[in-house]
Each structure stands twice: as C-alpha cells, then as structure tokens.
Structure 1
Amino acid sequence: MLHRRGIYTLLISLALYSCRGTLSSQEETLDPIDYVETNMGGISHLLVPTYPTIHLPNSMMRIHPQRADYASEQIAGLPLILTSHRGVSAFALSPRSSVTDSIPTVTHYSYDAEVVRPYSYEVRLLEPEVQVSYAPAAQSALYSLTFEGEGTGRYLVLSSAEGELQAFGRTIRGYQQLEDSTRVYIYAESDITPQSYGVRGEHTGLVAMTPQQAEGRTIVLSYSQPTVRLRYGVSYISVEQARRNVEREIQSYEVQLVAKAARNEWTKALGKVQVEGGTEAERRTFYTSLYRTYERMVCISEDGRYWSAFDRQVHDDAGVPFYTDDWLWDSYRAAHPLRILLDPLKEQQMLTSYLRMAEQSPEGWLPTFPEVTGDTHRMNGTHTIASFADAYAKGLTGFNLSAAYETASKTLQEKSYLPWTRIPKGPLSEYLDKHGYFPGLRIGQQETDPRVTKWEKRQSVAVSLGAAYDYWCLSQLAKFAGHDEEAAGYLRRSYDYRKLFNYATGFFHPKDDRGHFIQPFDYELSGGLGARDYYDENNAYTYRWDVQHNPADLIYLMGGKERFIGYLDETLRTPLSKSKWEFYSTLPDQTGGVGQFSMANEPSLHIPYLYNYAGAPWRTQRLVRKLIDTWFRPDLMGVPGDEDGGGLSAFVVFSMMGIYPVTPGLPIYNVGTPFFPRVTLQLSSGRTFVIEAKETSTTNKYIQSAELNGKPLDRAWLRHSELAAGGRLVLVMGSRPNKAWGANTPPPSAERIDLKPAK
C-alpha cells in the first residue's frame, strides 16, 4: 500500500512538473502588453472607477466604452474621441436597424462579448445585433461594423451635441464645440457609399431621408451592405487637418492591421521595463499599472502645429511636440518621476509645453490642471514647479531653465493660493505671504472672502503645506539657475510648515487669523465634507506627513526617530471612530484604509517610505508589500481609489520595482521591497539598470543585504545618477527583518538651515 501510494505521489509530481513547464513556456511567449487587464479597478470602491481606455501611449486619440462602470448594463453609443481624461466622447456613433420612429441622438445598447485591449476593442451589440471592431492610431481610428440581423435596415447615426456634421458621398466632416473657442474636428470616410442620407429633427427626433447629403447635429446614413467600415481622423485645428491625419496614419480598412501597429507601439512602451518571475497576478498588476501611466499627457501636435486654448491660436511647434491634459496635484508625485526615468525626452517636451502654456496665457502663470480647453486649476498648489525641479535635478536640461524659474517665481508671487481658482492674490493669500500660513475659519465662523469657493472651502492646512513644498521646489530652481540669494529666501519659506505644527499633539493644526490654534478640534473628522475647511480629501492623519521635502525636519519637530515611528504607527493603527458608512459620508476619498492611512489618495503615497528616514527600513519593506498585496490586484475592484490617469498607478510601478521617489526635486529614490526576482530598466541612453532580488516573495520581503555594482550598499536609497549610469542592484531577501540594514544612513532631506522652532 505504501509502495502504491509512493508511485501515485511520483506520478502526480511528474504531472504537476509537466504542467509547470507548459505554463512557463506559455508565459515566456507573452509580451508585457499581454498582461494588461484593462478592467482592473473597473468597479470603484466608492467614487470613480478606472475606465478601459483604448489608445496609443500618450496619444490624442482615446476612447473607452461610455458607461458609468463595468457593472453597467448598457453602453451609450460608440465613442469617437475623448477630449479629456475619463470624459464623455465628443462625437457618438450609433448603429440602428430602424429610423422609422423618433430616435435619440445617442442610442443605448445591451452588449456582450466585449474584449478591451489597449490597442483594440471588440463588442457585440444585441439590439440590433451588430458586431463591432475598433483600432486606434495616434490621431485617427478605424471602426468595422457588421449588421448580423436578417431583413432589417442598416443605419449609422452620428451625433455632435454642440456642433455640426455634414455627409456627402463616402465622407463625413464636422466639429464639436468645446469650452470657449476650442473645437474638435472630425473627418471620416466609409468604405462604401451610403444609399441615402438623413437628418434627425432637433425637437421631434424624426428622421427625413434624402438621396444626396445631410447636414445637422445628428445625421443618419443608410447602407445596403451588412458590413460598413469607417476610418476617421480628429483634429483641434481644422477638418482638413483631420483629413490629413487619417490619410497619414490609416491607409486601409483592415482593423487588424491598425490594431497590429498599435500593439507594436504598446510593446515598445511597456517593454522599457522587463520583469521576470513573480506570480502571474503580480505581473498583471504591474503592467496594467504601467499602461495606466501612459494615458496622460496627450500629444496634440498635428504635422508640426498645435491648437492652444491658452491664447486660442494655432502655433508651429518648432519640432517640439505640444502636450496637454494633466492633473499636476496627482501626477507630480510619481507619474512624472517615472517618465523622467523611462522616457526623459518626452518628459522634457511636456515641460516645454507647460512653459508655452504660461507664455500664451494672459497672466503668464504656470498651469496646474491643463486640458485641451485650457487650465481648469483644480485642487490646490502649483506643483508644476516640482516637475521642473525634479527633472533638472535628475539631469534633464532640454527645457529653458531660466524661463522655468522666472515663470514659477511669477506664478507664486501673483497667483492666489485659494483652491480651485486661477485669480490674482487677495487678502488671504497676502496673509500667507506675511505670516507663513493660510488662516482657517474658527468653529462656527462664517466665510468672509467671497472668492473662496463654497464647495472646496479654504483648505487652510493643505494650502499652507503645499505652498511650503512649492517654495522649496522654487528654491531648487533658483539654485540651478544661479540665483543664490533668491534660493536662500525661498528655502526659508519652505520651512513655514512649522507655523502650523502643534508640538503638543504632533499634528499640523489649523490656526485662525489671530495666530491661535482652532479649538475644539478632531484630527479625524473636523473640517466638514472632505475635511476641506482645513485639509483636502483626507484628514489630519494624512497631512501630518505632508512635508515631502523635509522628513528629517519632521523627525526633529516630532521629538526624534522613536516618536516619529510611533506617530507613523499611530496613523496605521488608529481605528475609525465611526462606522464605515458614517466615516465615508464625510471622507469619501479616504478609501483603501489601514487605520487612518488611505492607500487611495495621492497625498498618502510617500507615507509608507518614511520609516526609512527614521532608521527602520524594514518597516517600510513590510508595509509596502502588505499595501500592494491588499489593495492592488488585477481584478474589477483592484484599485482602492480614484486612479486619476496614472497618478495612483505610478506608485504601484515604482513600488513593485522596489524603489520610490519620496521627494520630487531631490535626485534620489527610496528603496522599498522588490516584488520580482529581476527587473530590467531599459534606459534611453541604451544602458540598463537591473534590480535583482534573490529569493524575493510575499514571505521573503525583508532585505538582508545589498550590493550596488558589486560593492556593499548599506543605505535604503539610491541616487538618480546611479540608476542613470546603468548597473546592477542586488538585494538578498529573507523572511525575517534585518533591522540593522540601512538604518544608519537615512535618505537626504531638504537643506538644513538655522531656524528656531515656532511656538
């Protein structure tokens, strides 16, 4: 019996070994693009889900299915172009089997068999039955639509909510009016000529068909063949430019050819980081996150010209493509630093685009949330400055440093600190300039400044801390540009966060305009919806750590490393004081919770790495592994909060590689815990940097020892120059923490100056 059991065990083992060999062989044939799960995070934990976007890396042409989230039962037409991140399509395409009755401008469909890849889209509409295939190029795309039902009509309805469309012969042309004077134009050609043309009545919804042409906001085309293929181009310049775009990029009506070219572009982009080993789920999480970081910014240069909403003119790009659509409050933290590492040329082009926006704007200020229609200025701060400082600190000189410094200085001197505004400074901003902090309202005090938005409030602590960081970044730019005296002054201002530090509690505590801490105060719940009276989307536990440029001084303020570690632990271990539904009704952005810590919102991203500064890198290693394993998975709820077009996903990419840029503006990376036995970065110089983690796993998350290019490394941080030069970082991993490794050489912080603590 024992002998027989042994034989069975041997056979099972051989079978499992054989299966593993087959799986490994299959995995070796996969390209990075094959690991992307476009629906990761497609159902939100609370607020906004991710959307499965189909596009080329950083390209103007973007679409995603028009629905609330993955669980939606219907999609609203077929999109033709999104003019903003996670937006609504500027034009809609609706196949129909009948237009005999009053029809909507956009038809809603039940659907099935949807397959979304970064480079192609397939779906079967069920009523009517239409098989849809789609593939994008940079400024154009191709649809193939096959009507499968017998004995029904075959109509395409194209709509533009605020514009005009014309159809004659096989061509369609028109525009959609966006904000101000910005328009997006379209030029399309079908592979067969329509039988007839129609226009939907604006008020009746009834369609009148004619044999020659159609003109209106919603037009209808009737076809005799079951398959219609439509290639189209878009432009922000003109219809003729849209025509040139599609003719340049798509010469055939074969969707597979266009999809193959798009796939090749994605293979090149994602192939800049090669990971080996790890689990399949980890590879899917990693490459999906990397894919997300290419959704923005988007290049809107067309044949060397671009439309600028900042002065409402068309410009020559002089060989430097123009990019827009960015939310700097989110993206400066990790998305821009990742691009500096993987695609420095593109990053420099984006920085040059910011300078063009400022030059073309009436105020001459840097943008904060630039979009196709201009700077929407959401959130708070002017963290565009951080991206300039970070790039130059890391050796990127392909932008005008002098212009960057002068424009950043002008912006901070003139523009209001008030959240969600793009206006000159008023009394509250002048108060911050004089006293070093933004005053908050006392409990029950009514707002006195009509320029404060009713929804976003003052955000007094968040604004104060954000301004201190912006001034530190400006001091770096001043130093790089040779303005030493100004650099020293801005550096002193970067310490103004001290004005709000409450030594009795260890929190940044709002003060009123009399210099008094506002009382009574609850660090978890005070501040109203989103804590916006004093903070922004997160409570005081998050903003306790919002001094990215100077963790060393924060350790000093808190009374030393042990107390600093204690406060970090407190953030992670303090439970919610209310039920989840009560807590999230006040702080809906603070999902992905570990105690009071939020994995879902960008101001929290650097917090797990702060243990490195206090001599406890092992705590960072443990926490980062837990956070990624818990909150980021390649499934429908695998993103804990609003993704914001790469803002959150870049944290995952960096962290899974084993490094993270805590302080944009300092050319260093904190070392965390690598998820893969081997990561190879293909640098733009042609060099490679390899991170090798021996025996790494969910269990073996602790660094035992390290070598950089064959020499012992006993610090939990790397210089950017060490990565950029190419080489190899070897980490020996284990299941128990080595509490001595990296403990004695903390990562650098801001330059220390002689300041007495503010009481």
Structure 2
Amino acid sequence: MNRSLKLSPIATVAAMAVVCSALFAQKQPVDYVDPNIGSIGILLTATMPYVQWPHGMARIAPITTPGIQDRYLADKIYGFPAGPAVLMASTGEASTSFAAYASDFDHDFETATPYEYAADLQTWKIHADLTASREAVYYRFTFPASQHAHLALSLGKKSHIEVVNDHAVQGSEELDGPIGQLVHASGTTSQYFYAEFSKPIASYQTWAGTQLAHAAQQSGNHIGFVSDATAQAGDVVEVRVGISYISTEQAKSNLEREIPTWDFAKLKSATRDEWNSALGKVDTVGGTEKQRTIFYTALWRSMGRMTDITEDGRYFSGYDYKVHNADGHDFYIDDGMWDTYRSLHPLQILLDAHRQEDMVRSYIRMYEQSGWMPSFPSVAGDQQVMIGHHASPMILDLYNKGYRDFDVQQAYAAMKKNATETTLLPWNRGPLTSLDKVYFDKGFFPALAWGEKETVPAVTGEKRQAVSVTIENSYDDWSVAQLAKALGKEQDATYFTKLAHNYANLYNPAIGFMAPKSADGNWVVHFDPKLGGGQGGRDYFTEVDAWLYTFGVQHDVAGMIQQMGGRDKFNAKLDRLFVEQYGTSKFAFLGQFPDATGLVGLYAQGNEPSFHIPYLYDFSGQPWKTQRRVRQLMDVWYGDGPLGIPGDDDGGETSSWYVLSAMGFYPVCPGSPVYEIGSPIFEKTVIRMGNGKDFTIEAHNVSAQNKYVQSAQLNGEPLNKPWFLHADIDQGGTLVLEMGDKPNYSWGSASSDAPPSMSNPQP
C-alpha cells in the first residue's frame, strides 16, 4: 500500500529552509551581479550592462535609442560595438541608414550578466548573444527564415572599411581628441577592428554617405558594409571581432590570440570564470539577498577601470601618438581622478596593489610623453575635466601603503610640476594665470567680488569655483608635501605644507562656513552659503554649496574641527548638515544644484565630495553617528533595481563607496594609510588581497538594528579607536566588531582615539 509522506508545518518550514540554504550556498559571486542596476540615471549618466573582462579593453553593451539617456527605458537596440564599428543583424531592407537596422527589444527577453548579454531583436525576430575576452568580442545571431538575412557594420567620421575576403571585414575610425588639450603634441588616435564571420559572405554591398555600391573598400564619413544571405529558421551566424588602437593587423592578432576557435560557450565560460575569480577576492557571509546583489554588483562595477590597452606587449599612447613597448608593465587609461582617488583606487589597492603600481607607471609614462600628469586620461589624451591634480594623493596612497615598484622620483617630479606650473582653473590645464598667483602668494584662489566682471580670458563657462579649488588643491599640495618629506626634499616639503594650509584662509568664523574671498583678500559680500554661486554654485563651488565643502578638508580634519570651535560645535554643525533643508523649494534647489542627488538634508550621496563626510564623526568623538549614517545611506540610496545608484556612478566610484562601507571601513584621506571604521552589513567579510594575504572583518550579532559597534579587536588585541592602519592588515589580519542595537558612547570617543590628520599627526 502506498502512503504519502505528510510533514508537520514546522517540519515543512525546516525542510524549505534547508533547501533555500542549499540553493543560497550554490550561488557564486558572479550570480549576484545585476548589470541593470543604475540603468536609469538619477542625474546624468545611467549605467550600462557591460560585458568586459576586469580592466579589459573590450567593453561591450548594446547601443540603444540615441537621445534616451536612461538606457533601461530605451525602446530599441541600434546595434552592438565592434571596436569603432556598430554591428547589427536584421532581415529588413539593406540601407545606408544606421537607424534602419534598429529593432525593438524587451527586458523580459534579455539576459544581462558580466560575461554575456543577450536579447531578442523583436523587429527582426533575431536572437542576439555576445560575450567578450580582453581585446575581442564574440557575437552569435540566430535568424528566422528569411530571403534577406543581413549583418551590417556602420562607422562614423574619418573612417575606412575593407572587405578582406569572403569571411572577413576590417576597418578603422579616427577618435575624437581630448577636451581642451594642452599644445604639447599634435596627432590623431584611431581604433581598428578585424571581424570574421562563421559563414561565407554570399553577397554584400558597402556605402559612403547615402549610396550603396558593390565596392570592396570605402573611406570617409558615415560609411558601412552590409551582407545579404538566405537564412533557414534557426540558422546561426557568428562574428568574432578583434579590436586594437595600434592597427588592423594588431586587431587580427588580438582576435587570433584570444578567440582562436568558433566556440561561443567556451569563451562565455572563461569570461564567467574570470569574473567569479575577480569577485571572489571578497568573500561574504550573511546579509540579505538584496544586499548581496547590490554589493557584488557594486564590486563588479569597481573593477572596470582603469582600462588596460596593452596589446602583445605594446601600447598606443595618445600622449605622444606613438606605439611603445610595455616592457613588462601594462599601460592603463580611462580614469577620472577628481573622484576615483577617493575610494575606487583605495579599494583596488586592497584587491590588487601590483596592478595599481602599473597604473601609477602609466601616469608617469603619460607625464614623460606629454609633459604633464593627466587628471582624466583617455586613449586620446587628457580630458582635463573638473578640478584638482588628484593623481597626487593616489600616488602617495600607494607609496604610503608600501607599494613602490615605480619611479618614485619621476612621480614626484610630475606631481610638483602639476602643482606649480599649470593653472588651477576648472576644466583647464593651461599655463598659470594671475588667479594662480593669488593662490600661491595669498593662500586662496580668488573669486569675483560682488558685481565684478570677469577679466581673465582663461575662465570658462565652468566659472572659477574658487572655494572648491582652494580646498581640493590644498589637499593635493599636502600630498606633494608628504612625498617630498619621504624623499628627503625638506625645502619642498616646507613649501607645500604651507600651501596645504590654504584651505584655512577661506573659513569665515563669522558665518561658520567656507566662503569666497576676492583677490584683495576681502570676503565676498552677500554670500549665501546655501544658494550662493549661481548654477551648480560654480562661482564658488564644484556642483554643490558651502554646506558640503565646509567639510571638504580631508587631509586636516583635526584642523577643521579646531577652526569650527572644537568638537561640540563641529558635531552640531555636522548633525545639522544631515537635516538642513533647502532654503527654497526642493524643486528650485535641485534646479540650481542638479548634481546634489541622494540628499539627506543637504548631504548629497550622489556627488563624490560628500563621500568622506559621514565618517568625520570618527574624528570628533561620536563614531556611533558614523555607524548610523553609513547604514542609512546604504539602505536608502542604494538599491537592486534600475534606480539603484544615487547619482552618476562615474565608472565605479559611487559603487566603490558602497563596497567599502558595506565591508565596514572607509579611507577618509587617501594618501594617509588609514581606514576609518563604520558599520558592516555582513557577518563576515574576507578580503583576499593581492599579496596572497587575507584580511577578515567579523561583525558578531550584526543585523539591521545591530548597527552600533560595542567593542573591537584587531589581530587579537583590543581596539579602542575607530580606525586602523594599512600596516595593521597588509600581511593579513582580523578585525572583530561586537555589534549591538544601542550606541556605545565611550568606544572610540576620547580625543586620543581620533584618526591622524595634518594638525594631529599621530602614527
């Protein structure tokens, strides 16, 4: 007789828990990554579902409807990158129009992972699938029955395309040059591709402009290639594309080296394994499924930049327009130092410091080839965006953490030259102006006086941003001073230390804010700390207002606290930042300060100058407030959907803040080898550092409510301060935090417990 097994409700729940636990255990880090997080931008740039190896040159995502900045809301796919070309499949009419090949798509019929992107091209009833290696891409298109199955390659300005044989097409396109390039060099940068098809090209046409022709080559603007074949239902055509910045021959070599066979599944598996290995450098236990999805997606986004463009031991440089031997050290471009020095590079140092050494070597090479240390290096040269010379703290940070396999003397020469011979003006790396002389001689970058008209031709539409320029460059000058001191250059160290105090000249105690001064040394009258400075505050600030930049002194928090009248007054001001309202309607405030997204009071999690501010309570005797705030910011402003990034991710910088904060610590002042403690969300985090050592963070009893540190141990010894040194963990170690649901007001609160800074240089 058959008997059905019946479980009690308790047993049923227990059995389900076992099953869920088993499924949870089987999930690997790469399985948590959702590339569509942030694909609706809070402000400017939405994220993209890139398929790319860590730091790989091939970075591939579908090209969606032009003009729709929020990619997730786009209605069509126009094609896929094939180096400089756009590759698209269709069954419509052959055309010279890029738009004619576009297709509707639906996210419900889409696969987006770090190692594969796939979507149904619904207009053409074609299924498109892609994966990538470091320098090549592999496409697979599954066609319906059709008399006209097309593969089209489109290129833009100053391009060339050539049909090599019945299986291959190659070409190139000249890239746009950098913004406001210094006049040190002249030349062009091009990108090349070599594409192979799995089936012979039965028939094809090329075009230039609007004219289709049976020609094997085309050159000029807006050119392309389209094949034509008959397809049976289910026919698969694959395309392998090598890309290069050196030549079409090198593109072909890259393809043959990286994708030597027609085996899509093999490459996809290898790319998945590569990401699993990279993401596995941080092993976590605990947290919710949502938190793990946000975390590993943020970690994935933190591993895309900088981009390694070394090809067969050589690289093309947009800094002298020559091809160089890499000499065993890869060449990296694609960075944005205004923000990435803050948390992206410090995170990458923890995960792979030796790669960071090659990144610094790359900056030094750019300096040697162009005469300047760039701020926003691209493949075509320095983009010269934003303010400051923040390669200096990045280099100092690596040096002070003990990684010095680069020419330190040459790095210092570059840092010093940038600090003394190029203007501090925003979005400008030209020669010194009269405004820079005020900074050097009087100790601040001057703003226009009330009613004064601009007379300095070098000032652009980005205005002077005088207060932010003073604060951020005083930090850069501190970085130069610290490296000068380490290298025994005492005269330089004294000079740059003096400049590092320039921030103090703009604190106005009468109003309790950093404020602008005109060149005569007088405070600008009628200054409003909340709404002053015009659009984006740019007369005085960089995208935000005095409420944020008053707390912007990363290198001298102790001096900043003293300036504000001591800990109590500092804490009261910091408390108020997180609740202060807009002084007008929120609509009007965001109209003036659209970059100030992710608001909590006037704190803006969506803009990078804010990132260190929640951790300042560690310096002022109230670390429990840091613990509360970082949890709030992670919970409120980071999500697991298309709106999951609080502002521009800026190539992973905003994501890297989450990664570090979720692990439980953050570097307030890169260049100082110190980490300030926050509130981890995982029970256990193991960071597998690039030197083969593990750093473990254990948070006992951690939960949504248990966010407050009760006590701590570091490497088996009591830790009664809310910070630790990189030297404490560089050979591995364990940080144990006992967590509870009430603040421990005594832990880390003594004056002697504060982290070091310029005015408090304890070890």
TM-score range, shorter chain: over 0.9
Structure 1 position 705 matched with structure 2 position 704: no
- Give the aligned partner of residue 599 of structure 1: 605
1:649 Cα deviation from its structure 2 partner: 0.9
Paired residues for 1:334-483 under 5 Å:
334-361=343-370, 364-454=371-461, 456-483=462-489
1:751 Cα deviation from its structure 2 partner: 4.7
Q: 2:14 aligns with which of 10, 13, 17?
A: 17
**C-alpha separation in 2, matches of 1:482 and 1:105:** 61
Paired residues for 1:278-297 under 5 Å:
278-297=287-306
Give 2:81's aligned amino acid: P
- Give the aligned partner of residue 136 of structure 2: 140
1:59 Cα deviation from its structure 2 partner: 0.6
- CA RMSD of the aligned region, Å? 1.5
Deviation string for 1:135-165 (max 9, x for gaps)? 10000011011112x3431111101102011
Give secondary structure in 1 for the equivalent of 2:755. coil
**C-alpha separation in 2, matches of 1:688 and 1:98:** 56
Give secondary structure in 1 for the equivalent of 2:200. coil
Q: 2:244 aligns with which of 216, 235, 241?
A: 235
- Give the aligned partner of residue 85 of structure 1: none
1:446 Cα deviation from its structure 2 partner: 1.7
**C-alpha separation in 1, matches of 2:375 and 2:9:** 60
Q: 2:542 aligns with which of 536, 545, 566?
A: 536
Q: Is the 8 A contact 1:45 1:640 kept in 2?
A: yes
- Give the aligned partner of residue 92 of structure 1: 86
1:544 Cα deviation from its structure 2 partner: 0.7
Q: 2:756 aligns with which of 745, 748, 755?
A: 748
- Give the aligned partner of residue 507 of structure 2: 501
1:36 Cα deviation from its structure 2 partner: 0.6
Give 1:372's aligned amino acid: V
- Give the aligned partner of residue 70 of structure 1: 72
Q: Is the 8 A contact 1:440 1:510 kept in 2?
A: yes
Give 1:463's aligned amino acid: V
**C-alpha separation in 2, matches of 1:242 and 1:459:** 43
**C-alpha separation in 2, matches of 1:111 and 1:511:** 54
**C-alpha separation in 1, matches of 2:342 and 2:54:** 20
- Give the aligned partner of residue 117 of structure 1: 113
Give secondary structure in 1 for the equivalent of 2:578. helix
Q: 1:157 aligns with which of 152, 156, 181?
A: 152
1:651 Cα deviation from its structure 2 partner: 0.6
Q: 1:127 aligns with which of 123, 129, 141?
A: 123
Give secondary structure in 2 for the equivalent of 1:490. helix
Change in Cα spacing, 1:678 to 1:106, as seen in structure 2 (3 Å) is: farther
- Give the aligned partner of residue 309 of structure 1: 318
1:106 Cα deviation from its structure 2 partner: 6.4
**C-alpha separation in 2, matches of 1:65 and 1:292:** 17
Q: 2:273 aligns with which of 254, 264, 269?
A: 264
Give 1:496's aligned amino acid: N
Q: Is the 8 A contact 2:128 2:139 kept in 1?
A: yes
**C-alpha separation in 2, matches of 1:435 and 1:107:** 60
Q: Is the 8 A contact 1:121 1:135 kept in 2?
A: yes
Give secondary structure in 1 for the equivalent of 2:201. coil
- Give the aligned partner of residue 195 of structure 1: 202
Q: 1:108 aligns with which of 102, 112, 135?
A: 102
**C-alpha separation in 2, matches of 1:546 and 1:673:** 22
**C-alpha separation in 1, matches of 2:456 and 2:96:** 50
Deviation string for 1:71-102 (max 9, x for gaps)? 11112222224xxxxxxxx3111212133566
1:209 Cα deviation from its structure 2 partner: 4.4
Deviating above 6 A after TM superposition, structure 1's stretches of 4 or more consecutive aligned residues are: none
How many residue pairs match? The answer is: 729
**C-alpha separation in 2, matches of 1:640 and 1:269:** 25
Question: Unaligned 5+ residue runs, structure 2?
Answer: 1-5, 178-187
Give 1:408's aligned amino acid: M
Q: Does 438-447 or 50-59 show the bigger shift? A: 438-447
Q: Does 252-261 or 605-614 show the bigger shift? A: 252-261
Q: Is the 8 A contact 2:314 2:325 kept in 1?
A: yes
Give secondary structure in 1 for the equivalent of 2:757. coil
1:20 Cα deviation from its structure 2 partner: 2.0
Q: 1:328 aligns with which of 323, 337, 348?
A: 337
Give 1:277's aligned amino acid: G
**C-alpha separation in 1, matches of 2:103 and 2:518:** 54
Q: 1:79 aligns with which of 78, 81, 84?
A: 81
Structure 1 position 715 matched with structure 2 position 711: no
Deviation string for 1:678-733 (max 9, x for gaps)? 00011222221110000101100001111112211101001101111212111110
Q: What is the identity percentage for the equivalent residue pairs of Structure 1 and Structure 2?
A: 39
Give secondary structure in 1 for the equivalent of 2:112. strand
1:27 Cα deviation from its structure 2 partner: 1.2
Question: Unaligned 5+ residue runs, structure 1?
Answer: 1-7, 82-89, 754-759
- Give the aligned partner of residue 207 of structure 1: 212
**C-alpha separation in 1, matches of 2:27 and 2:95:** 49
Q: Is the 8 A contact 1:136 1:259 kept in 2?
A: yes
Q: 1:486 aligns with which of 468, 472, 492?
A: 492
**C-alpha separation in 1, matches of 2:548 and 2:46:** 22
Q: Is the 8 A contact 2:98 2:154 kept in 1?
A: no
1:440 Cα deviation from its structure 2 partner: 0.5
Q: Is the 8 A contact 1:94 1:106 kept in 2?
A: no
**C-alpha separation in 1, matches of 2:99 and 2:633:** 45
Q: 2:620 aligns with which of 610, 614, 624?
A: 614
Q: Is the 8 A contact 2:167 2:197 kept in 1?
A: yes
Structure 1 position 60 matched with structure 2 position 57: yes
Q: Is the 8 A contact 1:96 1:155 kept in 2?
A: yes
- Give the aligned partner of residue 656 of structure 1: 662
